[in-house]
Amino acid sequence: MSGNDLSTLHKFNGWRCDSCGEPITSIDAGWVEWLSSEGDRGEDVLSGLQLVHHGSVLPNGAGQGCRYDRLKEFRNRKTIVEGLPLERFVGPDGLMMLFSLLADGSLPRDEILELAKRVQVPGYEVARDLPADLTSSNTVSQFLGHRCYLQLEIREMIALALYRV
């Protein structure tokens, strides 16, 4: 299976929203946000990095939007919601933005690394949602480890998943 075969499968296009679980099918429809608060010693404490739908309403038109509720976060935890459009994290400049966040050290390292893989590595978003038995080293041999999959490994995992359907 070539990487281009994936683009024909509607359920594998784009990214999965961390809030509602529905697809984000274009870069313009995505938003990356996180929470910012003040630590005990006055330092910035950032957490809760998530990739969600950009709009204030769910794509199906029902219920609360996917983004953090700014008023609720401030009232309950004295936390400010910060964020940027998904497009700021995609491509070479987006990778540098992710490196900058990583170097700054304010956001949890694992959250930034996971976001980087999701937005920079073709097919990773699909592979991360596959059942654990398909992503284990017993099924597909991993060269790198740490959920850092090579393109060949991603294609193998997706092919196995499609074969099971």
- The count of C-alpha atoms lying within 13 angstroms of the C-alpha of 47, restricted to the half-sphere facing its C-beta, is 7
pLDDT of 155 over the 50 cut: yes
Of residues 101 and 165, more confidence is placed in: 101
Tens digit of each residue's pLDDT (9 = 90 or more) over 3-47: 444 444 434 568 999 999 999 989 999 999 999 998 888 888 899
| Predicted TM-score of the model (pTM) | 0.78
Nearest CA to 70 among 80, 78, 61? 80
Distance, CA of 93 to CA of 97 (rounded, Å) = 6
Q: How many CB atoms lie under 10 A from the CB of residue 101?
A: 21
Under 8 Å between Cβ of 123 and 6: yes
